[in-house]
Amino acid sequence: MKQIAIFASGTGTNAQAIIEHFRENKNTCVSLIVTNNAQSGVLKIAAENNIKTAIVSKEGISDSERMKNLLKEIDFIVLAGFLLLIPEYLVKSFPKKIINIHPALLPKYGGKGMYGIKVHEAVKENNEIETGITIHYVNEYFDEGEIIEQHKVTLSSADSALNIQIKVQQLEHEFYPKCVVRMVK
Ligand code: GAR
């Protein structure tokens, strides 16, 4: 059985979609949720699904011995709204085995601080006619790893940042779990 760890810092809607997608899967399961945020919704989702959790601080994620021990049974790591940078030792320990989703069409609207609603506010500010999602491999820089796939959605001038977020989340929940299935193989 292949084991996935999901790293998330927020509400956890993507984590939820992925957990549901793998629930009946006979070859792969989500066996660990890692968060840096003790208040995050993703902890409740983990509890509801009987999935083991770990809370790691910024310093904690740099502790290679602790993290390697935590992840010793894990085959694949999925970032789903995780705010901390993945350190180089972790990227090297999981070559092409860590992926992230970004709520925009990278390289646009990426980088440090570009997270969640801030991304959609910037898209709105620039009167973009389309936005979308990017799923990419993770390297040691924010949002810079090789792109795996992108999906677009059309925007109208009437769309608020919140509407944009809703449209983008629909794409995320539709495409991210399917992509994880393909990548984990
Ligand atoms: C998602 O929209 C994800 O793309 C984004 O955070 C949100 C987490 O939502 N990630 C980034 O902005 C990474 N830079 P969720 O907690 O409901 O899954």
Angle formed at CA 111 by CA 66 and CA 34, multiple of 5 degrees: 30
pLDDT on residue 112: 87
Q: Rounded to an integer, what distance in angstroms lies between the CA atom of residue 153 and that of residue 151?
A: 7
- What DSSP element (H or E) covers 2? strand 2-7
Measuring CA to CA, which residue among 156, 157, 152 is closest to residue 174? 152
**Which residue among 82, 165, 169 is best mutated to probe the pocket of ligand 1, counting the most ligand atoms within 8 A of its Cβ?**
169
Q: For residue 9, which phi and psi values (nearest 5 degrees)?
A: -120, -10
Is the beta carbon of 81 within 6 A of some atom in ligand 1?
yes
Choose, from 21, 102, 120, 151, the residue flagged as catalytic: 102
- Read off the DSSP letter of residue 34: E
Measuring CA to CA, which residue among 137, 135, 147 is closest to residue 96? 137
Mean pLDDT by 10 residues, the chain (185 residues): 97 98 96 98 98 97 97 98 96 97 97 93 98 97 96 98 98 98 94
pTM above 0.95, yes or no: yes
Establish whether 102 is a catalytic residue: yes
DSSP 109-150: T-STT--THHHHHHHHHTT-SEEEEEEEE--SSTT-SPEEEE
Domain 2-103+134-150+175-184 has CATH 3.40.50.170: yes
Q: Ligand 1, closest atom to CA 42?
A: 16
pLDDT on residue 38: 97
Number of CB atoms found within 10 A of residue 65's CB: 7
